[in-house]
Amino acid sequence: MPFGIISASEIFHRAMENMLEGVRCYVDDDAIWGSTLQEHNRRLHRVRVNGLKLSRAKCLFGVREITFLGGKLSADGIMPDERKIAAIATMPRQTDKRVETDHRPLVSIIKKNLNEMLSRIQRLVMKFAEANGKAEKGVHIIKQLLKKATD
């Protein structure tokens, strides 16, 4: 595919999903799993049949859970990655808009319903001079919700 095509990543993603049905693909990260060993091996075989190569150093085989795109995936579902929770729980006091922007993706991974709180904080950050105390309280509330979500 030629360089410079704006839709190249979407075309690549669609091609990967068509070739590897049942495999989660995100940019160049792929999660290949199966309910049974046979299902897993069939999906893994499709990678080879389609001429794709995997980096052995980046592969995990025979595991019951993986960390993928900020979450822990297992037969029990998707749970937040403890490292992401720790990063949010220990994030510094907000001093500028950059701090909120840096941590927003982490919080989004943890809890979808926190988006409302984050947008409140973002609005407050825009008025930083007058909202310093309110933003700090919002960050404290987020930390408490994260602790409850992982208990």
pLDDT tens for 86-108 read 877 787 776 666 655 565 666 66
Q: 115 or 21, which is more confident?
A: 21
Tokens encoding 29: 């990260």
pLDDT of 75 reads 78
Q: Does residue 75 fall inside a structural domain? A: no
Mean pLDDT of 97-125: 60
**Average pLDDT taken over every residue of the chain:** 73
Residues counted in the chain: 151
Query: Which residues span the domain enclosing 57?
Result: 8-62
Q: Does residue 138 fall inside a structural domain? A: yes
Q: 44 or 99, which is more confident?
A: 44
Same domain, residue pair 12 and 51: yes
pLDDT of 6 reads 75
Number of domains forming the structure of the chain: 2
Q: Does residue 144 fall inside a structural domain? A: yes
Rounded to two decimals, what is the model's pTM? 0.48
Same domain, residue pair 89 and 141: yes
**CB atoms near residue 125 (< 10 Å):** 20
